[in-house]
Structure 1
Amino acid sequence: MQTLNPHCGVDRDPRGVVRLTITNAGSLNILGSAVINAVREGLELLAKDRQIRVLILAGQSEKSMIGGADIKEMAKLDQGSAEKFITGLRDLCEAVRAFPGPVIARMPGWCLGGGLEVAAACDFRIAAHDAKFGMPEVRVGIPSVIHAALLPRLVGWGRARWLVMTAENIDAPTALAWGLVDVVAAEGGLDAAVEKTVAALLECGPEALRSQKALLRQWEELPLKESVDLSIGVFGKSFLNEEPHRLMRAFVERKR
């Protein structure tokens, strides 16, 4: 494993698949300021590498991808330092959302609070059969903020309200039924489930996937007509490289 910084380890395979492992963050991979900044820096560095086709975000242990934000650090904050802390976490989540290629969250064990916000910023969430999810912030005197705003888009307003206002945890089958995660792996099969999604993504054109991800981000924020009209130019620009012709020719040849 290559070390990008004290909290980022990177494994690459010949297909262009990269696994970014959050390291040295405790057994539950807790997000303190040093970890937040290091992982964001790692993501921003990897984002420049156009050879990366799929990024897998993982934790060092099987207890969690990210257990949550560091309550010990937050307990010492005042208004100014609290805003600085949460701005750093926002920037980490945005680095995930802005990553050019598809990002898969590999989710064993616990995923709480800030960890679930990072996961929500990923494109795909694949959970272990016994994973647990929750937004416990109100129980420690703070609201759920920043990328918790993605939760209503994923699970609907009622379920998002339930998560952030009751602070009750949900299990993996419930998270799947709600749409919070995309896949729940069989027992012992988390990496196989991740690999199945990786294989599907590798069947797609890498430039097309980058364009599609960028469009999806804009669709989240634009009115419908603007979203439709914007897509026309993106479609045209996709023919500026050879990918559509190459993949379409291969498709036609297979059909003969």
Structure 2
Amino acid sequence: MQAFVLSEVRGPVGILTLNRPEVLNAWNAPMRARLVEALDALEANETVRAIVLTGAGDRAFGAGQDLNETKTFDPDRAELWMGEWERLYDRLRSLSKPLIAALNGVAAGSAFQVALLCDLRIGHDGVTMGQPEINSGIASVTGPWIMREMIGIARTIDLTLTGRMMDADECFRIGLINRIVAKETVMEAALALATELAGKPPVAMRLNKARFREVTEESFRECLKAGIRNQREAYATGEPARMMEEFLAKRAARKTA
């Protein structure tokens, strides 16, 4: 059975790797659940003082939601799907230890959101990031919430409605990537930063992170309620399934061309 998330510990740093490289580390329910479990374990491990999250392979941190899963949803399953994201996002937001994203290629849709929920992001000049969910018929709610908190409403509207992807330079200019390094040194740089943060006073680190969560908690809960409402309405119309089938067909045609 495939291990959807790999976990290891190097000194004071835990490393988690999203491990579905054959589909660019796209999310499915087992990978979401396994990531929560792995984060729980590192949070409980007193020797671990910082965490790095990355994706397997050299093409993607994560391509977002696996459309082969969501294209079959009905409104009830869509609501359960939102609950799965709530559990993962809650776990990310409640960590007492600093979390660094080591970006290796594409970070799209929900993988983009997970990257933004990390405390710091290190990438290379080939990284692309964005919220292309509209192109596959998925209404965005959690994405606009976290983007608005970080880059403001104007850019959030642009990225949500166009579905365009940003290159690494744009991401760096607007603060979504904190450091750009050579592609082959992304993990090395992420581990160095994680080791530095692991040496910070742990009580102050925990309290600082808890305060960041507090100031965004009300808007986070509101966006989850809106997400359930919007996904139920969207899936009841059948539009997401039609758009996902069309998107997957076009992608398959490009691969065989």
- In the alignment, the residues of structure 2 paired with residue 199 and residue 48 of structure 1 have an alpha-carbon distance, to the nearest angstrom, of 18
From 110, 115, 119, give the equivalent of 1:114. Answer: 110
Q: Secondary structure at the match of 2:100?
A: strand
Q: Deviations over 1:146-175 (max 9, x none)?
A: 254111111111111111111011100100
Match of 2:241 in 1: none
Q: Do 2:133 and 2:163's aligned partners in 1 also have CA atoms closer than 8 Å? A: yes
Q: Give me the whole-angstrom Cα distance separating, in 2, the residues matched to 1:48 and 1:65.
A: 25
Show the 5 A alignment for 1:217-228. Answer: 217-221=213-217
The code of the aligned residue for 1:9 comes to: L
Task: Tell me the equivalent position of 2:141.
Answer: 145
What do residues 216-253 of structure 1 show as CA deviations (whole Å, max 9, x unaligned)?
A: 2113358xxxxxxxxxxxxxxxxxxxxxxxxxxxxxxx
**Residue 64, structure 1, aligned to residue 64, structure 2:** no
The amino acid across from 2:5 in the alignment is C
Give the Cα–Cα distance (whole angstroms) in 2 for the partners of residues 197 and 158 of structure 1. Answer: 31
C-alpha contact 1:25 1:31 (8 A) present in aligned 2: no
User: CA–CA distance in 1 between the matches of 2:23 and 2:135?
Assistant: 22
For 2:230, the equivalent position in structure 1 comes to: none
- Structure with the higher fraction of residues in helix conformation: 2
**1:133: how far off?**
0.9
Distance in 1 (CA, whole Å) between partners of 2:7 and 2:26 is 18
Of 116-125 and 200-209, more deviation after overlay is shown by 200-209
State the AA in 1 paired with 2:91.
A
Q: Secondary structure at the match of 1:30?
A: coil
Is structure 2 residue 15 aligned with structure 1 residue 13? no
Secondary structure, aligned partner of 2:107? strand
Paired with 1:152 and 1:90, the residues of 2 have a C-alpha distance of 18
Aligned residues: 218
* Identical columns (%): 25
Give the superposition deviation at 1:132.
Answer: 0.5
Give the 3-state SS of the residue equivalent to 1:85 in structure 2: helix
Q: Counterparts of 1:142 and 1:17 in 2: how far apart (Å)? A: 35
Amino acid at match of 1:192: E
Deviation track 1:99-146 (CA, whole Å, cap 9, x = no partner) reads 110000111110000101111111111112210011111111121122
Q: Where does residue 130 of structure 2 map in the other structure? A: 134
Q: Distance in 2 between matches of 1:35 and 1:187?
A: 25
> Which of 1 and 2 has greater Rg?
1
- The one-letter code matched in structure 1 to 2:146 is L
Native 8 Å contact 1:133 1:169 kept in 2: yes
State TM-score, norm by structure 2. 0.79
- Structure 1 equivalent of residue 41 of structure 2: 45
Does the Cα contact within 8 Å between 2:14 and 2:42 map onto a contact in 1? no
Q: Which residue of structure 2 aligns with residue 216 of structure 1?
A: 212
1:234 maps to which residue? none
Amino acid aligned to 1:8: V
TM-score (norm. length: structure 1): 0.79
For 1:131 and 1:60, locate their aligned partners in 2 and report how far apart those are by CA, in whole Å: 14
**Matches of 1:116 and 1:148, distance apart in 2:** 11
Which residues of structure 1 form unaligned runs of 5+?
A: 223-256
CA contact 2:52–2:191 (8 Å) conserved in 1: no
Alignment partners' CA distance in 1, 2:173 and 2:84: 31
Residue type of the alignment partner of 1:108: N
Q: Secondary structure at the match of 1:179?
A: coil
1:161 aligns with 2:157: yes
Partner AA of 2:108 in structure 1: L
Change beyond 3 A, Cα 1:199–1:117: same
- CA RMSD, aligned part only? 2.0
Counterparts of 2:84 and 2:183 in 1: how far apart (Å)? 35
Match of 1:79 in 2: 75
**Is the partner of 1:220 in helix, strand or coil?**
helix
